[in-house]
Chain A
């Protein structure tokens, strides 16, 4: 019996010492809402994770296809229990589960993407994708001949509406006659429905298809019809080599490595971060061969202005669909207004309901 106790103690101490050794290595966990192979949203986050993995003394792991809700809490809790130092949860619906776990583990740094809640040890972050969408709008406005641009969109929430507005403003900045027609699919990822939605836009004369959807369904529709398309999340040109003008893409690596470094140095504080083109978090994918040099130059000029801060996307006068002025002349809309945007700018055809 005594022998057994000794053995037990020995194994326990061995276990503890390995646990200590492991502490020197930083552990960073990621929670994704979809499979990383989706060529889309989670794929983009995972490229960021790989950059973190490449840092010295850091190991990472991830759990993919985690449904929003109770399952998410279990996954995040599990990571926190296993001694992860930093946990990134990358979907809106992880907000409350993460907040709950964050309260139980005050020493762990929690970061939530696309939400609005924070605590002592939980920050939130997202990217100013609307800046990249403005640039892609310029491309669409220049390339459209029918002046009808189709936009397949998931849900009428501020994030998506803001993107559509920025895209439309971009298109109209170079082509005042351009209108953007919106079709809601009410799904983030359903290739069949998204493709059908794109076809319905092609039927009404659209010759450029943009999307705020995670599947390449709309790209396929544009390729088959022989018109142009603009991808989202990551470079989607492999799905539509002849149609794909460019894509608005996420590039999380600089932000993720910065946060992990800050946590390691003890300088990290929970905050609400909203980086954009200037920080390199959002960008355009390489232009397709069909985009003329002058269009590329025009886009790059505006891109440089946005990065330098000389240009802002939402500066008045900006009118809504009814023609009423929503952002007064010369006024730059504050972030709070952008985050709560629920109206379409003039030139968008569609409803926000």
Chain B
């Protein structure tokens, strides 16, 4: 059988610490895939011996993309260890900073990192703006910035972009590929929103800076609360936040969600076939505390739990003691078994390298160790995390809010597809579904944040300006352990800390990309990326749109410049994926 070996590889002078190797058969169907991270920093080791109150600042630097999330998780782990409950204002402020990150991150991901896998820019140039304006009205009564005149102006601007060859913006696209299915008019609408989103996301990131000080790497959280007292006391500041949020929310509802519905309808075939489904085991740590009863007792916006084999009728309660990190295929010392719980976790490097072959290229030794990412397991099972997992768990939990937003979307999708009923929930178990789940979640988040801003303003107005809970550091830090487990935009993110005599004795972080981008485990079972790629048909290996769609649908937070080369090492194509999240 003439199988080709594709290296999706970080030959990268731009950025890149993720490598994917895939094997395709004579029908161009992926039969095997391996994901590897090629960079190690040892942040968990660096944290040992430090003052736990300062850990958040350093732990945040694990990633410059979900940066505020690591910060908060680390601080929550210490608060959990110290049994400190934060004041109401601090809880809401943290929710607002995190919520703003979700809205910003998801919008940027869809339009600037993912849309061009579905949208063809050159086709947009052929559109009739008048027809496009009419098309926009088919999907919503209140389209965002998609009137005939606006679309005409955009079309002219895009014409200029294309003439200048502005690769930075459009570099990931394979213009004119026959696997783009949107009509020229639909493409024009999406492109218009793509450009409008560039401007929108600037304001979205300002929301985070209002309470966070700066972004990336905010600096306003401390063990026991938050520091931005002045910003919450100032009605102008809260009004500024609300006005930015309102603008963002309108865009999410009238552009983002509608575009995903439109594209989802056109590409529904892929979703119904379940292309890119992968593991179908979903886990959510749960997040966004809705009351002040304490970390793991309060009600949550996103419920926690586990869904197995895509079975939404059964929710398995989450038990953090069942998490282990297997190092059988990761460059660390350890036994060839399901590994240790993060409290007992060890991160001692044991690098065994790549294998240099006669063609001059180095290949992963996929039978043994081949990545700096460990393979986390939940109850000895591989898991996918992220927006899709959160929606699946929310549905299985019968969560009212999640169900409402998901059913809303599926009903509209069913109608657009001409079905009698809502589209089946199982469509979300796919590459397209992963992308839709992210949009559904963004709408939910933008709505609930409006409630939170009002809650914060009302609470401050009632005279409560408390932002920090006092604790006796010397007393509580003698012998303590805790964990901060919640969600990042990309999925479940947990920090575990053991504290002795005021210092960190052990620290382990299990991040979304640990779950999703992990290598094989000790039973040779695949990680989420690897698994989602299997069975995907790459119609044209020179333009591997299908690989891109699936890898992008996870919103990878690993630096990754991907190159596809054939067995002879001849480069077929190259494309940049995204940024970094290795520990």
Chains A and B come from one and the same complex? no
